[in-house]
Amino acid sequence: MDVRIQKRNGTLKVVADGQAIDPLSFKSFRPTERNVSDFSWAGVRLLCIFPSDINSYLGVPYSLFGPSWIGDNQIDFAPIDRQIDLFMRAAPDGLFALMIQVDTRDWWLKQHPDCANSFFCLSQAAAYEPWRRDAAAYLQAVLRHTEEHYGGRFYGYFLMGGQTTEWFSGSDYAASHPVKEAAWRRYTGDPQAVIPDEATRDATHHGVFRDPVKDAKALRYWRFHHELVADTLLWFAAKAQEVLAHKKPLGVYFGYLLELSGERLLNVGHLEYEKVFFSPDIDMIASPSAYGHRKHTDASAYMVTLDSLSLHDKLYYLEFDHITHLSPTHVGTMMIPGGHAKFQSEQETIDVMRRDFMLCLTKGAALWWFDMFEGWFYSQGMMDEIAAMVAIARNVAACPLRSVSEVAVFSGGESIYYLDKRADIHSDLLDRQRDGLARMGAPYDWYTMGDLDHPDLPHSQYKLYIFLDAFCLSESEKAAIERHVRQAGKAVLWAYAPDYVQADGFSLAAMAETVGMGLEKLEESEQTIATPWGDYGFRKKIQPLFAVADGQATALGTYAASGRPGLAFKKQGQGLSIYSGMGPLPGPVLRELARLAGVHLYNEGSDPVFATSGLIGVYADRDGDLSLRLPAGSPETWCDLFSGACVQAKNGFLSMTLRRGEARLYSCPGRSVSPCPKTH
């Protein structure tokens, strides 16, 4: 069977021997006849199989089917076969993705005491050639076995490695290890080189910033650390492709730029994600749904620069592993990730299932429901809901979909190398910013900085560009911004310190030139910018901070202590330059900036909006009346795909009365999308 990830009607699908399949999937650490057959009954065609005997981060095995990699050149395929047999019986129409864990096993570590445990200490094991060799042999043997015996039932494979199988270098970023030291010497070309000590690695000689000259050793080390993780992942991907020959999609969990908060973003090794995203050997990227945006009152969010993946025809899987009303919150004494956001009822669970579904459907992303330790979806109401979502996705697939976003957000990993990981401003500018963007009242697309000049990026549709962490800009990036943004007369929002980091230090003049207005350093300690639409600011006191010092700029917000402008805009020809000295900007503030840029606002409230061509979704933030402003030229009749109810627009608005947490997903009848009536 030949399987490709291809766009059909503008949306990426799993295409097996020419047949397009909507990428809605099932996964479980504890697959049984019941949960597999339940999802098969609901119409889910794609299912994941994970036959690993390694203990998870929660201290229990990922799989109960037993070990398969049992000794030197010894592989017992029976545990893998038993799990495949279970899936084939319970899902007779299913196609499967096999997840293969390449981490070191206990028996193997006893034979190689000079190697670190790759599950917990990935960067220390990454350059150990015997591990790479033996794990690659196991990987290729499993691939050959699966393709030979079950090739017609497998649509793809996932490479699993590192802490929590997400290619995290969990606890070894700091500790020295002979294998990593040797890799560092090869990287530097210096046979005497020693990995910098912790004080050197974590030093920042310019407030929250590493100095490009004074902290050069630290910068080089952190790049080495992240490149080592990405290169190891890609080394295994190349080994997998020696067997697959690109005839089946290959996926990984990776690139959590928007999610990893605090020290983790610098520590775990994901900053070179563009290497992985742009690699021809990788076809699918997966991540859980954002942990800090899961509560019934939240807005849902993804962890990666999703729209760049679509630009490169890489399928993004959002994993719904939320703690449903039926799920436990702990395994033993360990809290399951997301346990803080357990839903209290079936209605709450279904509400958030719909919210994540709307996010994925309108962003062209894949979705899999993760019944982690079995029983999390054991209710007829939830399975009916999944069956309805499968039907909606199937009907929508018949119609062309395209982005209608007029806001483009950009972020990248390069600037993070320069930041004090303990200052946590990357969490403010990336992780926490996701809520404000979701409540702006307009959809947005999120790209990585490496795609600024991509030939297929639809610059013509965007009216507002947002750069969240552009602290250091390459000449090519500045040229792309000049061409696509300034010369095109677009509006641009710059956050905190754009282009402040230079090759030889720091430049307020370069920053002011990039922003397009006069700026000054603040001497006062500030944490809040006050605006008429709400206050915001960094959680920690940091330096340096900057204020607008330009008589031609219009202030929209001021620092609370000094009264200096912290949020301002200035006309630049036909365009508009906006500067914010802090983040994260809340939804109401972003809404006003989007209005200045001429962006179409669907909603004046804080209710998350999900929109693509012909589809508009909304998730109610409160009980009461809600109105959606339709784009000019929209039809008058719209149908809610969840309830089947049709409504008439009046004066360009769709009006409705919703309870808090209620979701609506509207389609115009001209799209020929059939509603799926539900009673929930």
Alpha-helix residue ranges (DSSP H) falling in 196-297: 198-202, 216-244, 264-267, 273-277
- Sort strands 334-335 and 330-331 into parallel, antiparallel or unpaired: antiparallel
If you write DSSP's letter for every residue of 438-477 in order, what string do you get?
A: HTSSS--EEEEGGGTT-TTS-GGG-SEEEESS-SS--HHH
Judged against a pLDDT cut of 60, whether residue 476 lies above it is answered with: yes
Distance between CA atoms of 368 and 45, rounded to whole angstroms? 11
pLDDT (average), residues 29-50: 98
> Residue 651: what pLDDT?
94
pLDDT (average), residues 281-290: 98
Judged against a pLDDT cut of 80, whether residue 675 lies above it is answered with: no
Judged against a pLDDT cut of 60, whether residue 671 lies above it is answered with: no
Which strand (E) or helix (H) includes residue 572? strand 565-572
Give the residue extent of every domain in the chain.
3-175+226-396, 407-596, 614-671
**pLDDT 10s digits, 350-381:** 999 999 999 999 999 999 999 999 999 999 99
Distance between CA atoms of 557 and 493, rounded to whole angstroms? 14
**pLDDT 10s digits, 290-326:** 999 999 999 999 999 999 999 999 999 999 999 999 9
pLDDT band of residue 171 (cuts 50, 70, 90) is: confident
> Residue 139: what pLDDT?
98
220: left (phi over 0), alpha (psi -120 to 50) or beta: alpha
Distance between CA atoms of 516 and 573, rounded to whole angstroms? 11
Judged against a pLDDT cut of 60, whether residue 674 lies above it is answered with: no
288: preceding bond cis by omega (within 30 degrees): no
* CA 348 vs CA 102, 170, 295, 374: distances in Å: 37, 33, 9, 19
pLDDT band of residue 170 (cuts 50, 70, 90) is: confident
> Residue 592: what pLDDT?
98
Judged against a pLDDT cut of 80, whether residue 680 lies above it is answered with: no
Give me the residue label for tokens 């990730």: 337
Encoded amino acid at 508, one letter: L
pLDDT band of residue 175 (cuts 50, 70, 90) is: confident
**pLDDT 10s digits, 536-573:** 999 999 999 999 999 999 999 999 999 999 999 999 98
Task: Give 616's strand partners.
Answer: 611, 666
- Sort strands 315-320 and 366-370 into parallel, antiparallel or unpaired: parallel
Distance between CA atoms of 401 and 360, rounded to whole angstroms? 13
Encoded amino acid at 389, one letter: M
Q: How far does the chain reach from its first CA to its final CA, in angstroms?
A: 39
> Residue 670: what pLDDT?
59
Fold of 407-596: Rossmann fold (3.40.50)
> 121: Cβ–Cβ under 8 A, 6 or more apart, which residues?
169, 170, 171, 172, 175, 177
**pLDDT 10s digits, 194-251:** 999 999 999 999 999 999 999 999 999 999 999 999 999 999 999 999 999 999 999 9
Per-chain mean pLDDT for the chain: 96
pLDDT (average), residues 591-620: 97
One fold for both 3-175+226-396 and 407-596?
no
> Residue 673: what pLDDT?
39
* CA 532 vs CA 17, 580, 589: distances in Å: 57, 15, 8
**pLDDT 10s digits, 323-343:** 999 999 999 899 999 999 999
CATH of range 614-671; options 1.10.1740.10, 2.60.40.1180, 3.30.110.40, 3.40.50.300: 2.60.40.1180
pLDDT (average), residues 126-150: 98
> Residue 127: what pLDDT?
97
pLDDT (average), residues 142-160: 98
**pLDDT 10s digits, 482-540:** 999 999 999 999 999 999 999 999 999 999 999 999 999 998 899 999 999 999 999 99
pLDDT band of residue 286 (cuts 50, 70, 90) is: very high
> Residue 669: what pLDDT?
66
Superfamily of domain 3-175+226-396: Glycosidases (3.20.20.80)
